[in-house]
């Protein structure tokens, strides 16, 4: 169910109306669970069983981790992490395994290729891992809260944590120690209306006006279309895709944050103007923050982080990003994308460029280089087939003399401009000279709302739904 569909609007309004009625004040969590099941079942009804199975496994394992025998807690936590990874591997990576390691026509391979990819599985399995590890480390709630926790109550809280519909299919990835302490009765009078409104307007604008319009041009990056366009147009399309993927995913995340606020929950900020980054380290502190902090907290640090010497630090960086890339999709191109970012982080750290420079000119050059690298790497997202990537590069190399398509180039630049202004405004906003403009922000939000109504593109699925 798309956030910009009438079905979702109806589900959200009905749920919000019932949620704050005194009649349902003691059943708010149950009401949100029901809404979340309806939301998830809208496109893939049968796969609700998998979501419930994941929640059931994580409920049982995490409860025994919390209250079981102290000597078996580590084994149980390891089992919980292993089961979550097994579910993720079976449903997400079986087709990749079949294509890579099994001969064509093999019966097992044919079966593995038919396994469906449930929407959001990468997100809710990571949240199951977070729940198990956080309870093992006694980070999710206080000892007093734990003492009064029944298995039934824990099952309800776990299902709610995993399935809460604003974040269910594309994040932000929730961590148990951040979300579980927020579960309590919510009141209509406490809604952060202004913050929710801003998140929703910006989110829907980025998705419906920027991303949904750009997708009609960036689809020409696919094979065989890219063979027929000039080098300049192809590079402009790739720039447009870089803007599109930001607008699409940051838009989804902003909508999720706004919806969370309407129901009284604070979700983690997922984007913080990443395209102003002047280092790869900074980029990953600003892009998909919930994933980068998850990888830091549950993978990089447990591997040893930077505590085991410089060589191991670089290895941990590269391995973490390689696995983070593979998390994104069942194709080796995603792993190579992660490996490229891991190598960039390691080389940057080795050269000492992960620290900011005092020179504005050097910062600008670094920022441009980071953006170019990130944009070129997005080609592995857009074209997961390596043969298509090679074909695109060849087209860029040999089509330099072809005529550029002015309509495509100008349209991409026009729809990319709001994201450029969005980042520039973030840079200049704190300066004293811009304070009068800041006071007129509400006019800007009104303009965004107007453009949503009159200039939205054809609705399309969010890019991160495939992950």
**How far apart (Å, rounded) are the C-alpha atoms in residues 253 and 272?**
11
Q: Are 460 and 219 in contact (CB under 8 A)?
A: no
Q: Residue 25: CA atoms inside 13 Å, Cβ hemisphere, count?
A: 7
Q: How far apart are CA 267 and CA 248, in angstroms?
A: 18
Q: Crossing angle of helices 231-262/193-204, nearest 10°? A: 160
Cis, peptide link before residue 262, omega less than 30° from 0: no
Yes or no: say if 320 and 345 are a contact pair by the CB < 8 Å rule: no
Q: Are 458 and 212 in contact (CB under 8 A)?
A: yes
- Distance, in Å, from the CA atom of 396 to the CA atom of 408, rounded to the nearest integer, reads 16
Active site residue 154: no
d(CA 426, CA 61): 44
3-state helix, strand and coil shares in percent for the chain, rounded to the nearest 5: 75, 0, 25
Give the span between the Cα atoms of 104 and 109, in whole angstroms. 7
- Name the token pair of 23: 């009649």
Q: What distance in Å separates the CA atoms of residue 288 and residue 265, rounded to the nearest whole number?
A: 19
| 172 prior amide bond cis, ω within 30 | yes
Tokens of 110: 């044919």
Catalytic residue (one of 288, 328, 341, 423): 328
Q: What is the DSSP string of 197-224?
A: HHHHHHHHIIIIIIIHHHHHHHGGGSTT
Query: Is 418 strand, coil or helix?
Result: helix
What residues are annotated to the active site?
Answer: 328
């Amino acid at each position: 169910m798309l956030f910009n569909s009438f079905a979702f609007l109806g589900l959200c309004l009905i749920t919000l109306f019932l949620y704050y009625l005194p009649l349902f004040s003691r059943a708010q969590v149950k009401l949100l669970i029901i809404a979340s099941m309806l939301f998830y079942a809208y496109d893939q009804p049968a796969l609700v069983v998998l979501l419930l199975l994941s929640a059931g496994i994580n409920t049982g394992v995490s409860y025994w981790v919390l209250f079981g025998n102290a000597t078996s807690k580590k084994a149980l936590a390891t089992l919980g992490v292993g089961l979550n990874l097994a579910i993720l591997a079976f449903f997400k990576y079986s087709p990749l395994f079949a294509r890579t390691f099994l001969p064509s026509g093999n019966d097992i391979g044919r079966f593995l290729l038919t396994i469906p990819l449930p929407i959001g599985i990468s997100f809710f399995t990571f949240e199951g891992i977070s729940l198990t590890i956080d309870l093992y480390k006694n980070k999710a709630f206080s000892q007093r809260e734990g003492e009064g926790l029944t298995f039934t109550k824990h099952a309800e809280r776990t299902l709610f944590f995993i399935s809460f519909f604003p974040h269910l299919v594309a994040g932000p990835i929730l961590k148990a120690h951040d979300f579980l302490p927020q579960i309590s009765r919510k009141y209509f009078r406490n809604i952060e209306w202004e913050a929710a409104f801003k998140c929703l307007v910006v989110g829907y604008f980025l998705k419906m006006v920027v991303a949904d319009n750009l997708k009609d041009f960036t689809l020409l990056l696919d094979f065989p279309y890219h063979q027929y366009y000039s080098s300049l147009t192809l590079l402009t399309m790739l720039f447009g895709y870089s803007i599109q993927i930001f607008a699409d995913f940051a838009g989804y995340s902003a909508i999720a944050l706004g919806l969370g606020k309407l129901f009284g929950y604070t979700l983690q900020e997922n984007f913080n103007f990443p395209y102003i980054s002047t280092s790869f380290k900074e980029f990953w502190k600003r892009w998909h923050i919930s994933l980068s902090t998850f990888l830091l907290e549950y993978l990089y640090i447990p591997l040893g982080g930077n505590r085991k010497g410089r060589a191991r630090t670089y290895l941990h960086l590269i391995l973490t990003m390689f696995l983070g890339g593979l998390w994104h999709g069942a194709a080796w191109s995603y792993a190579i994308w992660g490996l490229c970012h891991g190598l960039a982080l390691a080389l940057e750290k080795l050269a000492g460029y992960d620290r900011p420079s005092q020179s504005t000119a050097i910062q600008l050059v670094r920022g441009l280089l980071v953006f170019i690298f990130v944009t070129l790497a997005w080609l592995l997202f857009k074209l997961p087939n390596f043969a298509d990537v090679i074909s695109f590069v060849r087209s860029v190399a040999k089509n330099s003399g072809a005529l550029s398509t002015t309509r495509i180039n100008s349209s991409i630049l026009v729809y990319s401009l709001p994201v450029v202004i969005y980042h520039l405004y973030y840079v200049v906003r704190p300066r004293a000279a811009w304070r009068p403009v800041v006071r007129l922000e509400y006019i800007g939000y009104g303009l965004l709302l107007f453009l949503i109504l009159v200039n939205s593109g054809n609705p399309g699925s969010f890019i991160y739904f495939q992950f």
